[in-house]
Amino acid sequence: MKILGLSEFRRSLKLLKTEVRARVDLRLTALAALMADKARELAPVETGKLRENIKLRKEHRGRIAVIAEAPYSGFVEFGTRPHEIRPRHKKVLRFEINGKIVFATRVYHPGTSPKPFFRPALEDAVEKLPEIFNIWEVIE
């Protein structure tokens, strides 16, 4: 038995798969960009560094990551518990309070409350998923 047109059928499937992947990638990129924009909008601003460091990164196999590269991003998102701060490289800590220079061998930090910006941005993106990623438009 011989099946005629099998190679043409395989080429058509491969072409369709490529087209669908391109449409999916386009929508994933749009969704990730929306999430990044929302995270930047919600991020608290003191110096602007946190906002500037929310970026998109394309990874292998069409994956797109939204990342907050500022080293303290997690502390802002989740907050911190009360903790003790001790000097690492010097004998004392030096800082300013109300215009006065203060020296201390240790300081008890009360911790910080969470200021979520990333999770709400993700939740917003998930809500927009159906309108951006209509599967029937992708397959058409």
Percentage with pLDDT > 90 across the chain: 59
Distances (CA, A) of 11 to 6, 8, 23: 9, 5, 18
pTM of the model: 0.73
pLDDT of residue 1: 47
**Residue 41 predicted with pLDDT over 50:** yes
Dihedrals phi, psi of 90, to nearest 5 degrees: -125, 180
Q: Which residues contact 94 (CB under 8 A, 6 or more apart)?
A: 101, 102, 103
Q: What is the CA 71 to chain-centroid distance, rounded?
A: 13
pLDDT of residue 138: 53
pLDDT digits (tens, 9 = 90+) for 72-84: 999 999 999 999 9
Q: What mean pLDDT do residues 91-104 have?
A: 93
Asked if 94 and 102 touch (Cβ cutoff 8 Å), the reply is: yes
